[in-house]
C-alpha cells in the first residue's frame, strides 16, 4: 500500500473523480488535476505516471460511450507533430524534479491562459489552427504533464465540430496518445508498485466521476463552476513554483 497521509488519499480521490468528469463532457476540469496530483505525490517527475492509468481508465469509458461519433480524419495531420512533441517531452523527463516542477507549473499556467482565452476572446479563434503548432505543443504537454487538454480543445473548436464529434474525437485522441505514453514512462522508471496500487484503488472514483458527472453537472451554474475551476487551478499551480 502507498504510504500516504489521509489528506493525500482524499486529494487523490478528488483527482480521480475529476478525471472521470472531465472525460465525459467537461474537459475544462481536467486542467485542475495536474497540479493537484503533483501536490498529492510530492514529485512532479513521477506524478505523471501516477495519473496516467487513471486517464487511461477514463479514456476507455469515454471511447466506449462516444464510439459512434468520432471524426478520426480530423487528427491525421496532427500525428507526426504530436510524435515530435512527445519525443521532446520524453527527453524533458530526464530533468531533475526541482527543475521539472516549475516547467510543469509553467505549462499548466499557459494551458490555463489558453483555456481562458478560448472562453472569453471576443474575436473567437483568432489563431490559425496549424497542425505543427498544436500537434507539437499537445505532444510535449501531454508527455511532461498530462496537460494537453486545452490545446486540443482549441484545435477541435477550430474545426467547428458538433458537440458529439468534439467529445468523441478528443476521447479517441487521448486514448491512443495516453497508451503511447506507457512505454515512455516505463523506460524512465516512473511506474512503481505504489503508484499502480494507488491507481487500482482509484478506479471506483474514476468511474463515479465518469458516470455521475454528467448527471450532476447540469445542476451547477456554468459560470460558477468554471470560476471555481479557474481559481482552484491557479491557486494549486502556484505551489509548484515554491
Predicted local distance difference test score (pLDDT) of residue 240:
66
List the domain boundaries for the chain: 6-241
pLDDT digit string, tens, across residues 148-163 = 877 777 777 777 766 6
Cα gap 106→104, rounded to integer Å: 5
CA-to-CA dists, residue 131 to 83, 127, 180, 225, angstroms = 12, 12, 19, 31
pLDDT tens-digit profile, the chain (242 residues)? 778 899 999 999 999 999 998 887 676 677 788 889 988 998 888 999 999 999 999 988 888 877 666 666 667 778 899 999 999 999 999 888 778 778 877 887 887 787 777 667 655 545 556 788 888 888 998 898 888 877 777 777 777 766 667 777 778 888 889 999 999 999 999 999 999 999 999 999 999 988 876 676 567 675 776 676 677 667 767 766 76
pTM of the shown model: 0.81
Cα gap 17→5, rounded to integer Å: 19
Percent share of the chain, pLDDT over 90: 31
42 torsion bin: left (phi>0), alpha (psi -120 to 50), beta (else) = left
pLDDT digit string, tens, across residues 173-190 = 888 899 999 999 999 999
Residue keyed to cell 522508471:
189
Amino acid at each position: 500500500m502507498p504510504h500516504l497521509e489521509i489528506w493525500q488519499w482524499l486529494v487523490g480521490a478528488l483527482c480521480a473523480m475529476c478525471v472521470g468528469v472531465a472525460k465525459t463532457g467537461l474537459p475544462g476540469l481536467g486542467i485542475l488535476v495536474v497540479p493537484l496530483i503533483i501536490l498529492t505525490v510530492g514529485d512532479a517527475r513521477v506524478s505523471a505516471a501516477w495519473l496516467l492509468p487513471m486517464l487511461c481508465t477514463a479514456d476507455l469509458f469515454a471511447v466506449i460511450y462516444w464510439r459512434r461519433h468520432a471524426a478520426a480524419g480530423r487528427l491525421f495531420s496532427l500525428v507526426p507533430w504530436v510524435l515530435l512533441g512527445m519525443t521532446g517531452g520524453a527527453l524533458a523527463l530526464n530533468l531533475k524534479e526541482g527543475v521539472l516542477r516549475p516547467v510543469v507549473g509553467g505549462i499548466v499556467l499557459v494551458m490555463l491562459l489558453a483555456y481562458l482565452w478560448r472562453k472569453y476572446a471576443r474575436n473567437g479563434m483568432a489563431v490559425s489552427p496549424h497542425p505543427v503548432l498544436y500537434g507539437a505543443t499537445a505532444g510535449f504537454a501531454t508527455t511532461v504533464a498530462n496537460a494537453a487538454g486545452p490545446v486540443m480543445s482549441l484545435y477541435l473548436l477550430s474545426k467547428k465540430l458538433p458537440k458529439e464529434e468534439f467529445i468523441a474525437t478528443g476521447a479517441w485522441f487521448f486514448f491512443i496518445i495516453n497508451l503511447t505514453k506507457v512505454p515512455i514512462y516505463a523506460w524512465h522508471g516512473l511506474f512503481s508498485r505504489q503508484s499502480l496500487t494507488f491507481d487500482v484503488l482509484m478506479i471506483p472514483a474514476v468511474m463515479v466521476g465518469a458516470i455521475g458527472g454528467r448527471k450532476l453537472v447540469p445542476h451547477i451554474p456554468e459560470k460558477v463552476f468554471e470560476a471555481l475551476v479557474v481559481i482552484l487551478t491557479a491557486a494549486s499551480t502556484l505551489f509548484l513554483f515554491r
